[in-house]
Structure 1
Amino acid sequence: MKATFSRLPVALRPINYVLKLKPHIKTFQFTGSESIEVEVCKSTTSVVLNSVNLDLKEATIKVEDHDIIKACNIVPSEELETVTIHFPRDIPRGKGYLNIEYIGEIGEQMKGWYRAKYTISEGEERYACSTMFEPSDARRCFPCWDEPAHKATFDITLIVPKDRTAISNMPIASEKNIEGSPELREVVFERTPIMSTYLVAFFVGELDHIRDTTEMGRLIRVFTPKGLQEHGKFALNAAVKSLTFFEKYFDVPYPLPKVDLVPVPDFQSGAMENWGMVTFREDCMLVDPENSSTSRKQWIAIIVAHELAHQWFGNLVTMEWWTHLWLNEGYASFSEYLCVDSVFPEYEIWTQFVTDTTFGAFSLDSMKNSHPIEVPVNSPSEVDEIFDEISYNKGASVIRMLHSYIGDDDFRKGMKLYLERHIYKNTFTEDLWEALGEACGKPVRDVMSTWTSQVGFPVITIHATEDGDSLRLKLHQQRFLLDGTIDAKPTWMVPIDAISSQCVQKPCLSVMLSKKEDEYVVEKGKNLGWFKLNPGQIGFYIVKYPDELLLKFQPAIKDKSLPPIDRLGLVHDLFLLIQAGQTTAVDLLKLLPSFIDEDAYVVWNCISGILGKLNLLLDYTDSQSLFQKYVRNLMAKIWADVGWDPKPEESHTQTLLRAIILRKLGLYGDQTVIEEAKRRFELHVSGKEKIAADIRATVFSIVVSAGGRDTFNALLKLYDEASTTEEKNRIGNSFGKSKDPAILRDVIDFAESDRVRKQDSVRIFCSVAVSKVGREIAWQYYKDNHLELVKKHPGVFHIGELIQSVTCNFATIEQAEEVENFLTVNNEHGVDMKVKQAVESIKLNSNLLRRDADKIHEFLLANVKV
């Protein structure tokens, strides 16, 4: 019978951990010794802690003046991830020390304390030892109360080889040589503040570092692989600016003496906010001045800001349990944009927030198999399933909406109140609403509970009638679902603003729609042109306009009097309505020529994503080649403007725009672009002239798509020779663009080989599934090898992503049934939600094609010259 999970007993409460660890890097084991200062709140004969794959050799406890009690039995539970230490008599109440000696394993699964392989300049392979404890893997390194509410302080000591760098949350307090072991030294770190176990971190390896201080005198160090200090300069600059921003914005001092940024050769996510020692995947932190792209630098700035926001929101104040995870991730995902907008204003980052964050949340939250922001979590094993677009992106989007609703000044006051009131403590979502409500005097709790506790979001339908100089509006809200079904139950409190052609800079309507339907009057004056809800796309809802209002937007799109963020909002909302069957794809194809003179990166980024989705689906029809010609015609003018090479003094976003347009044209068959891509690739391979970093990934993809075995082999050679993770990724991610089935099979074999790091393997594997042919190959490989794949890539982050990416763009009911049946029989624990979402996506794709495929084909035949 399966054991039932429950939170740890509270008979004992940890106060401080004294932890001494000695890694044996050659054998991938470590010895551990810990003395936990505890408060015994209730007399008991046993102590239950979290522990996984740790061999406890002995344990004793001593409470104040009482005798030492030695454990009589130590019973691990693999299923519950606990160890129960039994004592022969009652442990008396009071303060005492629980002492444990144990042995553990330095694993290879990128969780707990694990090993990460790297190669030194002489070609020798070596291993670093790093940690990844979130959400519940500190228990793989030391027996502990591994729940976020069990906060304590930590005294950490590492015994390491003399030639290795040792880093932890706090600065080094002392170092000394080990008698009898001349090759070792003992590194003692200062005591941490009160913190949760998942934020403890340490690293042992070979690194260099550079340093700087903030305006407030906070030390920031950026570590890099040996000899690559230059690659840490961008992250150091971003970190100094970001920490300074947050300290001023929150008006709460950063409480630690330093922040370290540490790149780890093998890392399962982008970064981890360990307090005072933030760890990163290498390509999410290191910038090669000659070979890193503009988009990569922007991404690194965002990630650094995200992790440093956590130093307050998540670390200083922590959610009480994983149910409130979104407090950590949603807020940090919003704050990263606040920060980057301030310190890198040239990025125009808020316009990108909508396409990169809000729209991703819409895609998932419009499915039946979504979940509320705040999800009851019964056990830590469920946590990974909610590390998704909802926790991060919807969380960030509704906080952005709240920020606009209460205003920046009151938002900052509320945040300061929240942080100071709960400093070093744990909180619930309601604590945040209470602080923000006190600061602004508005019903924050009432408004926000409708967004955090309910799944989905509303579509606001407008019915408008003109009445003299007034416009009478009837607004109706209803949950939006991509399958077109009606869910009449949920109602949101929706802050609604509107602008018009006569009132662009400030709202002409500002109301709270709290009912299913309400009516409003707007003074429109004479000759009203367009009228738009949700200016700036700040509200987490979409809008359905009547045809007569929708038509009025076309002149404003063409002359760009409608702001860029609102132009892209119209296109995005229309496409969601198309997917739900509330209008047809032909309406979109008719509207897009209005954007022929468009020059805004964010608008083209949105349009490009929509066109990409349609192209994936039309691969299952006879219309794809006609559609690609339509896209080439649509982008001809903007391509003439941006060209291959950067112009003097061009903006950050113009640089990003070039890669988007070039990629679409090259992959959609523009022969002029393809031939130039081949020419530049040949120069690059020969060493005569490097492809510019900003278009290098795009060129690689184009030449793989248009080339054959020789091109693939040339790129494989470049992959093996590449010295940075960023370069390997841009090469590896291009492989799936091949149209040759034999090459696509080789790509999967390559992805699963030892030539590719585990952290990168799934991404390269999934790149094969971008075409109909590749999808079938990838799915067949998964079916034939699923047991080995699950073993190699355990957990939602890896096998869940692989399953969803490989299958979600199938487009027939038969494929949906096949995927569902196979994955039901061969069920992998923890990926149920991913499987349901993938099957739902396939059915939605099938429905769209069933409704619109013939109409699209007819439109293309009539409007695209062959």
Structure 2
Amino acid sequence: MGKGFYISRPLGFVLLGLGVVSVLTIFSLSVVYTKEKRRNEVKSTNGTQAVTTAAPYSTPAPSNEPWDKYRLPDTLLPKYYNVTLWPRLVPDEHGMYIFNGKSGVAFTCVKETNLIIIHSNKLNLTLTSEKHHATLSGLGGTSAPGILKTWFQTQTQFMVIQLKEKLQVGKSYWLYMEFHGELSDDLEGFYKSQYTENGVKKVVATTQMQPTAARNAFPCFDEPSMKAVFHLTLLHPPGTVALANGMELGTERITIDSKEVLQTRFEPTQKMSTYLLAFIVSEFTKIQSPLEANVLIRIWGRREAIESGHGDYALNVTFPILKFLEKYYNTTYPLSKSDQVALPDFAAGAMENWGLVTYREQSLFYDPKVSSNEDKEWVVTVIAHELAHMWFGNLVTMRWWNDLWLNEGFASYVSYLGADYAEPTWNIKELMVQQQVQRAFAVDSLVSSHPLSSREDEIITPDQISQLFDTITYSKGAAVLRMLSEFLTESVFAKGLHYYLQEYAFSNTVYTDLWKKLQEVVDADSGIQLPDSVNEIMNRWILQMGFPVVTIDTRTGSISQQHFLIHPEAVVYKPSDYNYEWIVPIKWMKNGQNMGQHWLRNKTASYEPMKTETDWLLANLNVTGYYRVNYDPQNWERLLKQLTTNHKIIPVLNRGQIIDDAFNLARAQIISITLALRTTEYLYEEKEYIPWESAISNLQYFFLMFDRTEVYGPLQSYLRRKVQPLFDHFKVITSNWTQKPPRYMDQYNQVNAILMACKTGVKGCSELTSMWYRQWMKNPDSNPIAPNLKTTVYCTAIAAGGVEEWDFGWQMFRNCTIAAEARKLLFGLSCTRESWLLNRYLEFTTDPNLVRKQDVTSAIVYISGNVIGQPLVWDFIRANWKRLTEDYDDGFFFFGRLIQGITKKFSTKFELQQLQRFKEDIEASGFSFGMHAIEQAIEQTKANVKWVSENKANVMNWLTQQSA
């Protein structure tokens, strides 16, 4: 699934500099589910400093009855399903949108039992048979036992059928059911999406089954290892089109209860998991490619969007990415078609349903007249992510959700390879360091992190499964797989993937199956020298949380590692069997010359020390390893000197790394805060995007902590001097802002130049953005603002303006039909300095007719990033928590993102007390969604309070000295 997960690229790089750090969760993919409590209570030491301990996931209380357990018994194995569904796209007399269905499943008895236990969510489905909820018959001449009784087990979401006699081992049976349910608006299972076209409301019946919502649409064995073939039929109104995983076999008109409907049948699916099922009924239209290599590619969406060409880019890149992946995996795409559908309402970024991939509109549609570079990059990387799943995840599937990291981390990594193939001039693979590696660092340095892989018995309930869709799963998974492919080489890595896919096609695996296949390739290739087996190396990265900081002393030649924690006093829960050192691949350079690779296997090691006092060492070349680096003070000084004398000798990725490592080492009290600040002194000479983005991202913490204090002025002044040359540089190369920079990364950095110039008060910046915005206000039908600059311009112009500018932005948002543009306006509206406008905006988020439900979290988080809006949002959330929990009772990643975004600025003891009281109130209410995020927020707030008390004076003194 492409979540907010792996996600934060469309707006993230701009929003970081504008105070909305929480959009790190937008991509990401990306999407943090936070439903189940899995940490011990915060314990206090000496009444002052808190020590937090992360505990394993809690598991349900044991029960001897199979229907009280959340996992299916291993007695039955499905073979194929016949499913017919009839969604109504108009409300019934009660105002409800319903669907009718009937389904049958053929299954084999593999162990003796008199029970049929199958997933069915009673809250969503009502079975219509009066005597029994199902009928059972034998297949192949087998006689079926009679049904004794049937009931629903609500907590475990099972329908239980008790039989009068036991099923025969090795024999097959047919279970048939009829049912009806509601097309709800909760964005999961079988649900409805709505949009307006030419003034007419249109309804779409669509699906989101991952992870555990197929049971909401029809009774099924809803676990990933329960693979089967699905025969689907959809009934739908005339004038609509039906889509499913398989290709349409034909559509005919039939009459049911005097109503004329269309009946569309689909080719049987491949053997697949229930969470990959998808079916859609809509009035969408399509564009398609010619039939190439026996694969039909179709892009579906709203008629207005498709006819305006918004799906053209997706169509153009899909086929090249598919062909790249076929070559990369050395495995043919296993389906006859690839449908990709843009949905107006969709909780995730995208979903890899086999043959019918679903997307948010902004993840599939691109309009070159309106959309920015980051919008385009988002589209191509999300498409690559979902198509990567067609093999890795769909063809070969994890046995259970505890290995979700391999599924999503792999797709996140490969998405950069596919996007790089489709757009080779972008050099997009370099962005992976900031978008995945550093993003993972931020979460994995907390004690509330968790290992990539857990035991199966630790991930049981739907809430626990949903909780895994987080930054660790997506971004850390991508980072460690990138590291693996680097030290194995990409060709060895890809060959191992081919063997893995070849052996386990249409079946399920555990992560060690991949290690075995990679080891086979390594063993056959004498050129690969590893210090240990692939299994031993990689298990150290996935079975324990966190990552190391590698410290190199160039004076003595010593190397050591320790678990890096952003809060050094924190205590981490570590099971004894996972308490070992990482095996770290260290690529390094000396004085600009590559020194190859060194393996750090133990806690300490040694190498030949520097021979002269002028030699400098740089480790983790191009940031291929998942670790941070610290040096002795003398080597730090030599690196700083190199940056100020000739920074280009140091690779651009490592210039960004030096800044990012230094600031985080300082936050962890490993080096001084002034040393970290000194890594930014050379920036007046820097013109590259990656180091600037790294600096802005890290200095954002200073803005968060100090924008309400006396430090803010000197901080602005210091950064104004650093960004002025960059602002002037782009003014020159764009011919006074009339042209677009020719290089892709320069187009990104132009945004940083304007963003930071306006934020720090560079002369002429605010006037420039306000002028562009006023030109648009004079002619709303012709927006003169360059797509790449819109987010910054909307924000700065609305902040500098008043109600007229805000009302114009709101009207443009309401009229907007392009999701990417709407997202920019949604953010820009949050930048006003008028508190009454922010309060009005908050109230608008309570009305789904004004702000779509899928966008509510983003709007609230954006407002909280405004120094004026943050206390308004905090009051609003506490006052409306009960209503919000009712509106979002299934959680999704709503509460995690909300709490993370709102509390980013918390840095006082009073705010900490408010947050702790909020947690107590939530616990007293019995509501658990978001509790993990609240605990993380408490942990972060305690660290913020401590950091400010220890560093405020030093930062103020250093900044004052710089302006002297």
Q: Could you state the TM-score of these two structures normalised by the residue count of structure 2?
A: 0.86
1:486–1:161: structure 2 CA closer, same or farther, 3 Å change rule? Answer: closer
1:736–1:381: structure 2 CA closer, same or farther, 3 Å change rule? Answer: same
**2:835 touches 2:868 (CA, 8 Å); kept in 1?**
yes
Residue in structure 1 matched with residue 184 of structure 2 by the alignment:
107
Is 1:693 the counterpart of 2:757? The answer is: no
Deviations 1:494-543 (A, max 9, x none): 1111112241xx3x142211111001126x67785421010000111001
**1:331 touches 1:395 (CA, 8 Å); kept in 2?**
yes
Residue in structure 1 matched with residue 115 of structure 2 by the alignment:
46
Q: Give how far 1:321 is off.
A: 0.5
Secondary structure of 1:227's aligned partner: helix
Per mean C-alpha deviation after superposition, the further-off stretch among 623-632 and 160-169 is 623-632
Deviations 1:339-370 (A, max 9, x none): 22222122211211001110010000001111
Residue in structure 2 matched with residue 536 of structure 1 by the alignment:
622
Q: Which residue identity does 1:485 align to in structure 2?
A: E
Q: Specify which of 464, 475, 495 is matched with residue 554 of structure 2.
A: 464
Question: In 1, distance between residues paired with 2:466 and 2:240?
Answer: 33
How does 1:157-172 map onto structure 2 within 5 Å? 157-172=233-248
Q: Specify which of 679, 687, 693 is matched with residue 591 of structure 1.
A: 679
Q: Specify which of 635, 638, 650 is matched with residue 552 of structure 1.
A: 638
Is 1:202 the counterpart of 2:279? The answer is: yes
Deviations 1:547-585 (A, max 9, x none): 211121234324211110010000000010111122233
Question: In 1, distance between residues paired with 2:110 and 2:746?
Answer: 62
Q: Give how far 1:235 is off.
A: 0.8
Secondary structure of 2:227's aligned partner: coil
Secondary structure of 2:358's aligned partner: strand
Question: In 2, distance between residues paired with 1:824 and 1:532?
Answer: 47
Secondary structure of 1:840's aligned partner: helix
Deviations 1:579-615 (A, max 9, x none): 1122233223333121211111111111111122211
Is 1:79 the counterpart of 2:155? The answer is: yes
Q: Specify which of 471, 489, 513 is matched with residue 431 of structure 1.
A: 513
Q: Which residue identity does 1:473 align to in structure 2?
A: G
Is 1:847 the counterpart of 2:946? The answer is: yes
1:425–1:66: structure 2 CA closer, same or farther, 3 Å change rule? Answer: closer
Structure 2: any 5+ residue segments left out of the alignment? 1-59, 92-96, 524-529, 573-578
Q: Give how far 1:288 is off.
A: 1.4
Question: In 1, distance between residues paired with 2:950 and 2:705?
Answer: 12
Is 1:62 the counterpart of 2:137? The answer is: yes
Question: In 1, distance between residues paired with 2:346 and 2:788?
Answer: 25
Q: Give how far 1:817 is off.
A: 3.2
Question: In 1, distance between residues paired with 2:244 and 2:559?
Answer: 55
Q: Specify which of 1, 8, 13 is matched with residue 77 of structure 2.
A: 13
**2:301 touches 2:343 (CA, 8 Å); kept in 1?**
no
Per mean C-alpha deviation after superposition, the further-off stretch among 576-585 and 538-547 is 576-585
Question: In 1, distance between residues paired with 2:806 and 2:470?
Answer: 33
**1:74 touches 1:86 (CA, 8 Å); kept in 2?**
yes
Q: Which residue identity does 1:681 align to in structure 2?
A: Y
How does 1:56-455 map onto structure 2 within 5 Å? 56-58=127-129, 59-64=134-139, 65-67=141-143, 71-93=147-169, 94-121=171-198, 123-179=199-255, 183-212=260-289, 216-229=293-306, 230-375=309-454, 376-441=458-523, 442=530, 443-455=533-545
Cα RMSD (Å): 1.9
Q: Which residue identity does 1:782 align to in structure 2?
A: I
Secondary structure of 2:341's aligned partner: strand
Residue in structure 2 matched with residue 468 of structure 1 by the alignment:
none
Q: Give how far 1:707 is off.
A: 2.1
1:24–1:552: structure 2 CA closer, same or farther, 3 Å change rule? Answer: same
Question: In 1, distance between residues paired with 2:236 and 2:471?
Answer: 40
Question: In 1, distance between residues paired with 2:762 and 2:723?
Answer: 11
Residue in structure 2 matched with residue 768 of structure 1 by the alignment:
863
Residue in structure 1 matched with residue 569 of structure 2 by the alignment:
485
Question: In 1, distance between residues paired with 2:766 and 2:570?
Answer: 46
Q: Specify which of 682, 690, 711 is matched with residue 602 of structure 1.
A: 690
Is 1:815 the counterpart of 2:926? The answer is: no
Q: Could you state the TM-score of these two structures normalised by the residue count of structure 1?
A: 0.96
**1:224 touches 1:231 (CA, 8 Å); kept in 2?**
no
Is 1:564 the counterpart of 2:652? The answer is: yes
**2:142 touches 2:172 (CA, 8 Å); kept in 1?**
no
Secondary structure of 1:179's aligned partner: strand
**1:316 touches 1:423 (CA, 8 Å); kept in 2?**
yes
Secondary structure of 1:156's aligned partner: strand
Q: Give how far 1:699 is off.
A: 0.4
Secondary structure of 1:38's aligned partner: strand
Q: Give how far 1:689 is off.
A: 4.8
1:729–1:826: structure 2 CA closer, same or farther, 3 Å change rule? Answer: same
Question: In 2, distance between residues paired with 1:772 and 1:842?
Answer: 17
Is 1:619 the counterpart of 2:703? The answer is: no
How does 1:571-586 map onto structure 2 within 5 Å? 571-586=659-674
1:648–1:792: structure 2 CA closer, same or farther, 3 Å change rule? Answer: closer
Q: Give how far 1:338 is off.
A: 1.6
Question: In 2, distance between residues paired with 1:711 and 1:136?
Answer: 45
Secondary structure of 1:833's aligned partner: helix
**2:328 touches 2:494 (CA, 8 Å); kept in 1?**
yes
Is 1:37 the counterpart of 2:106? The answer is: yes
Question: In 1, distance between residues paired with 2:917 and 2:626?
Answer: 35
1:213–1:542: structure 2 CA closer, same or farther, 3 Å change rule? Answer: farther
Deviations 1:731-757 (A, max 9, x none): 111222222222221221122222111
Per mean C-alpha deviation after superposition, the further-off stretch among 167-176 and 267-276 is 167-176
**1:138 touches 1:197 (CA, 8 Å); kept in 2?**
yes
Q: Give how far 1:289 is off.
A: 2.5
Deviations 1:116-138 (A, max 9, x none): 011112x1112101100000000
1:32–1:69: structure 2 CA closer, same or farther, 3 Å change rule? Answer: farther
Q: Give how far 1:294 is off.
A: 1.0
Structure 1: any 5+ residue segments left out of the alignment? 466-471
**1:619 touches 1:771 (CA, 8 Å); kept in 2?**
no
Q: Which residue identity does 1:607 align to in structure 2?
A: A
Q: Give how far 1:639 is off.
A: 0.8
Question: In 2, distance between residues paired with 1:723 and 1:486?
Answer: 48
Q: Give how far 1:487 is off.
A: 6.7
Is 1:499 the counterpart of 2:589? The answer is: yes
Secondary structure of 1:826's aligned partner: helix
**1:479 touches 1:486 (CA, 8 Å); kept in 2?**
no
Q: Give how far 1:698 is off.
A: 0.9
Q: Which residue identity does 1:32 align to in structure 2?
A: G
Question: In 2, distance between residues paired with 1:482 and 1:525?
Answer: 33
Secondary structure of 1:275's aligned partner: coil
Deviations 1:181-214 (A, max 9, x none): 5641100000000000000001111111111258
Per mean C-alpha deviation after superposition, the further-off stretch among 674-683 and 379-388 is 379-388
Question: In 2, distance between residues paired with 1:219 and 1:143?
Answer: 31
Question: In 1, distance between residues paired with 2:741 and 2:949?
Answer: 48
Q: Specify which of 797, 802, 806 is matched with residue 902 of structure 2.
A: 806
Q: Which residue identity does 2:629 align to in structure 1?
A: V
Residue in structure 1 matched with residue 558 of structure 2 by the alignment:
474
**1:56 touches 1:74 (CA, 8 Å); kept in 2?**
no
1:72–1:668: structure 2 CA closer, same or farther, 3 Å change rule? Answer: farther
**1:581 touches 1:848 (CA, 8 Å); kept in 2?**
no
**1:697 touches 1:730 (CA, 8 Å); kept in 2?**
yes
Q: Which residue identity does 2:960 align to in structure 1?
A: L
Question: In 2, distance between residues paired with 1:568 and 1:789?
Answer: 40
Question: In 2, distance between residues paired with 1:501 and 1:115?
Answer: 60
1:804–1:557: structure 2 CA closer, same or farther, 3 Å change rule? Answer: same
Deviations 1:398-433 (A, max 9, x none): 001100111112111111111111111111111111
